Every structure is written in C-alpha cells, then in structure tokens.
C-alpha cells in the first residue's frame, strides 16, 4: 500500500540524533471494512478484511488459551445454559428459546489473552478458563461448556471446544439441530508467528487473518467491542496495541508539539490505552473532532520509544486515521516486572476474603508490602474488563487491610489486581 510521508520539523534529542516528526494516514476503508496492522519503525501497514472470520484461537506461546469472537463484525456468543458438555448432550437439538435474554459474551478490551469464550470462568478456580478446565498433570484443557454462536453472516451454530491437547484445539460445530456437523483440529504450530489462528464457521475453513508476523507490527487500527460508558457494550473504532507493546497516555498537554517527557510516564500493557476516545462526534457538524491535548508514548516491539499524537479521523466515509509520530529513543523504558498470580516474590502479596462473597457484604482486601514502593494501587475489574473500583494503598512496608463495598456491584465474577510499580498480582473473586 502506497503512503505519503510529510516531513515535519526536525528536533535534537538527548542522544543528539535527528528524528523527523512524520504525519501519516492509515485507512481501514469506507464502512471500516478492514483491519490495518501497522509498524511504527517502517510505516508499513498491512490490511486484512475484518469480517472474514468468526472465532479466533490464541496460538502465541504454550500458555495461551484465549478464544475470541468477531463481535464487531456481527458475530455473537452465548453459553448454552441447558446442558453440560458431553457427547450425549451435544447430539441433541439445541433449545434456543429465550436466546434474546441470554447474556452475550465479549472479548476483553484490555488484553488479547482473555476472549469471549473465557468470560464464564469460575474465578475462584485458577484452572477454569471459561470454555474448559486446565489439568495440571496432562497440561491439557478439557472443554466443559457448549456455546451458541451467531455467525458474521447471521446464521446460528452450536459449538463445543472439546479440548486443547498437545498444542491443538479440537472443536466441533453444527447447525442447531445437529446437521452439517464439522470436526476441526487447529494446531497452534500452524500459526506460530501469529497471535491467533482464525476460523470461519460459515466457510468451514481456517483463515490466516493476521497478515504479518506478530514481531512486525505494533498497532492495529480496527473496530472492537468496548464499554462506551455505564456498562454499555458496543462497537468502537480505534487503535489497539500488539502483545508486548507498552503505552502511556498523557492528557491536558499544553504544548503537544514540543512535549517529549516519556521518561517519567507509567507505561501500561493494556492493549486499549490509545483506544477510541481520543475523538468525539459532533452531531451538529456531522464530523469527528480530535482531542488536541493528548500525547501517547509507545514502546514498540523493537523497544524503541515513539511519540504518537492523533490529529484527525475521517469516520465511516473513508476510515482514515491521521496522526503524527516521532521516534524519541531506540532503547526501551524500564519494563515492568513479570506479572504474578497471587504474589510478587519479595515485593508484595494480595489476599481476599470471603471468597465467594455474598452481594452486599464488604470484600476484605489484605496487602502485604515487603518493600516500600512509589506507586501501589488496588483495582477491581468485572468480567468485561471494566474498572469498578480503584484505590491507592499506603506505600510503606507491612500489612494494609481495607474493605471494598459490593452492594453496588452485580453478582458475577471479578478480578482484583494489586499493581506495584507496574508489577501486577491478581486474584479472582465471585460475588453471589
């Protein structure tokens, strides 16, 4: 795809290297028809049709178990509530009476590693992955749920992911009455350089949707399902970061052109840090306006630090994202320590009780800091990834205990995260 690069002013950085501020345009096409995978260092953009797949299986790494749905292209996912997953129950016609009242399941908008199929996990069981349960001895995941899938083309299918064994997802799907059954084995190794292997249930075929190796793109310009406020889930058009890319957002910057204070920012691994809400729609004028006082700093896959400022958006007419970018540094920022499950060795531990907890009862949170730290936060998320609670914790060493009210929360599964200087420990909690 040809692009036009407009060279802006040249500035002198601390390392005395000259880096041009460049204005670029990435287009996903009229009606947001495509997804564009973009590499900051080269300006290379690679396009894929957004609606060519229905479900996607995480293939990157041996511990990837996420399964996603193409909700932003019209697909929808429901857990079948009328039977447990076994061969006998699979064989019957699925009863979908009342399907319109069944809750839809969505991919997380903050991580690639938690898809819609994972959302009904029992968060009190660290080995429950939503669609199946992980066996610590065999390292297999055995499917314990069956699903109804509305395809991108509007058809309905029943689906059962039987297992993930020896690096292969084994799943079966059919019409709701059992006709047209298809059995599929999708090997992670076939997509070893990609984040996901994709599948079209309407086309009965695997789709190599990601057009470039996951080491060769930093941002994807796309549509995705997001919480647009108050728990309202809908399609958003924005920018998501690749796995391993870290991003910092700085708002209310007085002089955007000359602001380059990337060193002191808090870099996050959440893929939607840039996201969609850098723009608003002016109903009167019928155009989008861009927040002109926000700066994003992006640590790319090659560890270079980039400054990105959004400057324009063309909407559904052409799908154009217009932005400036500037390379500030070749070396990475200090990376956050590895993410833990319940504790961060020699840093902190996180405990919750009671768990599960009755709605209306305060959730007791205990944090034990083994060393003083600059920033300590406790954050609670619902299963869609929406933040429902956040508080700062005293950063001195020792035990800290406080209560989180649950009276204003819905019954369901939640994740409580302890963030200490970018290192995160998590625990699951169920409100009943």
Instruction: Report which DSSP code applies to 154.
Output: S
Domain count, the chain: 3
Residues 78 and 145 both lie in one domain: yes
Residues 260 and 356 both lie in one domain: no
> Phi and psi at residue 302, in whole multiples of 5°?
-90, 10
Give the domain CATH number at 371.
2.60.40.1930
Q: Is 340 contained in some domain?
A: no
Q: Which domain holds residue 229?
A: 22-49+213-329
Of 207, 228, 257, which marks where a domain is finished? 207
Q: Is 146 contained in some domain?
A: yes
Residues 110 and 190 both lie in one domain: yes
Residues 59 and 187 both lie in one domain: yes
Query: Could you read off the pLDDT of 198-247 as tens digits, one per residue?
Result: 999 999 999 999 999 999 999 999 999 999 888 889 999 999 999 989 99
Q: Is 101 contained in some domain?
A: yes
Residues 280 and 418 both lie in one domain: no
Q: Is 410 contained in some domain?
A: yes
Residues 167 and 267 both lie in one domain: no
Residues 358 and 381 both lie in one domain: yes
Yes or no: say if 147 and 160 are a contact pair by the CB < 8 Å rule: yes
Of 154, 173, 207, which marks where a domain is finished? 207
Residues 184 and 273 both lie in one domain: no
Asked whether residue 337 carries a pLDDT value surpassing 70, the answer given is: no
Q: What does the pLDDT average to over 319-333?
A: 89
Residues 143 and 163 both lie in one domain: yes
Of 207, 233, 267, which marks where a domain is finished? 207
Calpha distance 90→4 (Å, rounded): 54
Q: Is 335 contained in some domain?
A: no
pLDDT at residue number 426: 79
Instruction: Report which DSSP code applies to 333.
Output: P
Other beta carbons within 10 angstroms of residue 30's beta carbon come to 14
Residues 158 and 290 both lie in one domain: no
Query: Could you read off the pLDDT of 107-120 as tens digits, one per residue?
Result: 999 999 899 999 98
Asked whether residue 38 carries a pLDDT value surpassing 80, the answer given is: yes
Asked whether residue 73 carries a pLDDT value surpassing 70, the answer given is: yes
Q: Is 226 contained in some domain?
A: yes
Residues 217 and 297 both lie in one domain: yes
pLDDT at residue number 374: 62
Q: Is 147 contained in some domain?
A: yes
Query: Could you read off the pLDDT of 144-202 as tens digits, one per residue?
Result: 999 999 999 999 999 999 999 999 999 999 999 999 999 999 999 999 999 999 999 99
> 41, 3, 6, 24: which is closest to 328 by C-alpha?
41
Say if pTM beats, i.e. exceeds, 0.85. Answer: no
Residues 223 and 172 both lie in one domain: no
Written as six digits, the tokens of 383 are: 């299963």
Written as six digits, the tokens of 86 are: 């076994």
Calpha distance 409→326 (Å, rounded): 43
Asked whether residue 383 carries a pLDDT value surpassing 70, the answer given is: no
Q: Is 16 contained in some domain?
A: no
Cross-strand pairs, 6: 23
């Amino acid at each position: 795809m040809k692009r036009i690069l407009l060279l802006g002013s040249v500035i002198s950085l601390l390392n005395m290297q000259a880096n041009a501020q460049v204005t670029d345009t990435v287009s996903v096409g009229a009606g947001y028809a495509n997804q564009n995978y973009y590499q900051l260092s080269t300006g290379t953009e690679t396009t894929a049709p957004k609606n060519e797949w229905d479900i996607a299986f995480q293939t990157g790494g041996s511990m990837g178990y996420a399964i996603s749905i193409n909700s932003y292209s019209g697909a929808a996912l429901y857990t079948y509530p009328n039977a447990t997953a076994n061969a006998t129950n699979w064989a019957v016609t699925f009863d979908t009476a009342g399907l319109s009242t069944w809750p839809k399941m969505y991919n997380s908008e903050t991580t690639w590693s938690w898809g819609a199929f994972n959302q009904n996990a029992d968060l009190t069981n660290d080995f429950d992955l939503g669609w199946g349960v992980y066996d610590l001895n065999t390292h297999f995941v055995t499917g314990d749920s069956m699903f109804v899938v509305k395809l991108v083309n509007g058809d309905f299918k029943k689906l059962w992911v039987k297992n993930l064994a020896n690096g292969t997802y084994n799943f079966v799907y059919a019409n709701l009455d059992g006709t047209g059954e298809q059995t599929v084995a999708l090997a992670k190794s076939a997509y070893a350089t990609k984040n996901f292997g994709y599948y079209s249930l309407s086309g009965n075929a695997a789709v190599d949707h990601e057009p470039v190796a996951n080491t060769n793109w930093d941002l994807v310009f796309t549509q995705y399902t997001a919480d647009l406020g108050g728990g309202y889930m809908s399609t958003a058009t924005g920018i998501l970061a690749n796995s391993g890319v870290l991003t910092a957002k700085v708002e209310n910057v007085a002089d955007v052109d000359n602001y380059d204070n990337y060193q002191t920012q808090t870099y996050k691994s959440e893929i939607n840090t840039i996201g969609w809400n850098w723009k608003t729609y002016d109903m009167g004028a019928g155009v989008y306006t861009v927040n002109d006082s926000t700066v994003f700093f992006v640590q790319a896959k090659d560890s270079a630090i980039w400054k990105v400022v959004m400057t324009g958006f063309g909407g559904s007419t052409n799908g154009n994202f217009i932005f400036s970018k500037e390379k500030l540094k070749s070396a990475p920022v200090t990376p956050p320590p590895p993410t833990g499950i319940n504790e961060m060795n020699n840093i902190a531990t996180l405990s919750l009780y009671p768990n599960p907890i009755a709605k209306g009862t305060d959730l007791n949170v205990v944090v034990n800091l083994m060393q003083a730290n600059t920033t300590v936060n406790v954050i609670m998320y619902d299963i869609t990834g929406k933040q429902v609670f956040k508080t700062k914790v005293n950063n001195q060493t020792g035990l800290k205990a406080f209560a989180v009210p649950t009276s204003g929360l819905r019954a369901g599964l939640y994740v409580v995260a302890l963030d200490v200087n970018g290192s995160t420990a998590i625990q699951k909690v169920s409100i009943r």
